A = this chain, B = another copy of it.
Amino acid sequence: MDKAGKVFEPIATGSVAESVIHQIEAMIVSGILREGTKLPSERALSEQLNVSRPKLREALKQLEKDDLLVVKQGERSEIAPLIGSAMTPAFQELYGRHPSALFDFLEYRREQEAFAAGLAAKRATKADKEILTEILAEMERSRIAKDFKAEHLADVQFHSAIVAASNNSTLIHMMASIYQLTKRGVFSNRLFLRTMDGVGQKLHGQHCNIAQCIFDSDAEGAAEAARYHLDYVESSIRAGQERDARERLGQKRKFMRKS
């Protein structure tokens, strides 16, 4: 039995603090705990985890040390910033002004969101679908109220929720970085507002179609609907720009006739 006697491995029951760290890290990676999310109080959290407060604090201290948590006395701990930026602030400024950058950006988004929509159609949970339904309702509310800022925010939340429903942590993270550009208004909001103006109803229909394909677990349909939507957004922006150019020419002609 000497031969078989060497097949056992040392038992390694992790410490309480290690187990806590492991669970919180897993929740960060899977997107359940996003950057900025505040944790419950230490007392509440130790109760939920069924561990003592000193041991919980040991774990939280380690997470703070690893730059995953921000801890301040008197305030609840919160998840640290997780998203780096693919662009420096200076490049973001230039990128936002560069005319064709917007279309490159839309092209990239189109492919990523088609991918995400396909995955979401396969993997979305009941909770994911309810979130999508709520955001769609909020978009419609803010569109009717002509609250463009709220409508724009809801639009980003909608696309972000689809990516979340893909349950692919790498895609979630990389797209969060992309959506941050949109949230910050790297591209002039005027471009988006022109797109929305007059075609909001149609865009809403497309959003509903994407969601319906996800609800129906139609992966190909969801990917195609997402691709179609982003194509439509791009062509609307192009049409708006061309309309602007024609109006500028018309104003110039009118001015020349007066003199």
- A residues with a Cβ closer than 8 A to B are 1, 4-16, 19-20, 23, 27, 32-33, 37-40, 44-45, 48-51, 76
Contacts and interface: CB of A to CB of B under 8 A. Distances in A.
A185 to B, nearest CB: 28
B50 A10 contact: yes
Nearest to A6: B48
A37 B76 contact: no
Given A11-B50, A13-B13, 19 more contacts: A1-B37, A1-B39, A1-B76, A4-B32, A4-B37, A5-B44, A5-B45, A5-B48, A7-B27, A7-B32, A8-B48, A9-B48, A9-B49, A11-B16, A11-B19, A11-B23, A11-B49, A13-B15, A13-B16
A8 B38 contact: no
Number of copies: 2
Contacts of A40: 1, 5, 8
A7 B44 CA distance: 12
Given A4-B37, A37-B4, A38-B1, A10 B49 contact: yes
B8 A13 contact: no
A33 B7 CA distance: 10
A16 B50 CA distance: 19
Contacts of A44: 5
Nearest to A56: B11
Contacts of A10: 48-50
Q: Which 3 A-B pairs have the closest CB atoms?
A: A10-B50, A5-B40, A8-B48
A19 B8 contact: no
Nearest to A1: B38
Contacts of A48: 5-6, 8-10
A40 to B, nearest CB: 4
A59 to B, nearest CB: 9
